[in-house]
């Protein structure tokens, strides 16, 4: 019993000092390709901790993702069913410190998606 109380006290103190941060997960509607590179997370400013792009299993072509120079021949290549993303789950290590987390600008994520193919999107803040 004492061990459980100590664990609970430790957990509560970590929450109070910002050592544990709840991260919300968000999903967006599928993006259907038009045979051009697009900003899959849109062009409105969006700072995210993590993001994930998943090429639909029913796609007939690979999807390419990367920066603004992404094209049919440039970018990380994802076969149907594959995923690509970035993770940044850094947290503070000392009581009272705020987490030093570098966020990603999701508007800088571009994907080339062949006409009719799709990608699914998730991100966390």
Q: What is the pLDDT of residue 87?
A: 80
DSSP 74-105: SSEEE-TT-EEEE-------STTPPP--PPEE
Q: What is the pLDDT of residue 96?
A: 53
Q: What is the pLDDT of residue 21?
A: 61
Residue 94, phi then psi, degrees to nearest 5: -115, 140
- What kind and span of H or E run contains 4? helix 2-16
Burial 42-77 (b: 16+ CB within 10 A, else e): eeeebebbbbbbbbbeebebbbbbbeeebeeeebee
Complete domains list, the chain, with CATH: 24-124 (2.60.120)
Q: Which residues pair with 32 in a beta bridge?
A: 118
Contact 88, 52 (CB under 8 A): no
Q: Which residues pair with 52 in a beta bridge?
A: 85, 122
Angle at Cα 40 formed by Cα 36 and Cα 41, nearest 5°? 155
Query: What pLDDT tens digit does each residue of the chain (125 aa) get?
Result: 544 433 444 444 444 445 456 678 999 999 999 999 999 999 999 999 889 999 999 999 999 999 999 999 999 999 999 999 988 755 444 455 455 567 889 999 999 999 999 999 999 88
d(C-alpha 69, C-alpha 76), whole Å: 11
């Amino acid at each position: 019993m004492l061990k459980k109380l100590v664990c609970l006290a430790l957990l509560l103190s970590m929450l109070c000092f910002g050592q544990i941060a709840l991260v919300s997960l968000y999903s967006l509607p599928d993006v259907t390709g038009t045979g051009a590179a697009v900003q899959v997370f849109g062009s409105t400013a969006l700072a995210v901790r993590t993001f994930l792009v998943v090429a639909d299993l029913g796609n007939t072509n690979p999807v390419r993702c990367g920066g603004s120079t992404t094209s049919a021949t440039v970018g990380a290549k994802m076969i149907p069913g594959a995923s690509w993303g970035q993770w940044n789950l850094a947290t503070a290590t000392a009581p009272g410190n705020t987490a030093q987390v570098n966020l990603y600008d999701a508007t800088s994520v571009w994907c080339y998606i062949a006409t009719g193919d799709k990608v699914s999107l998730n991100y966390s803040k």
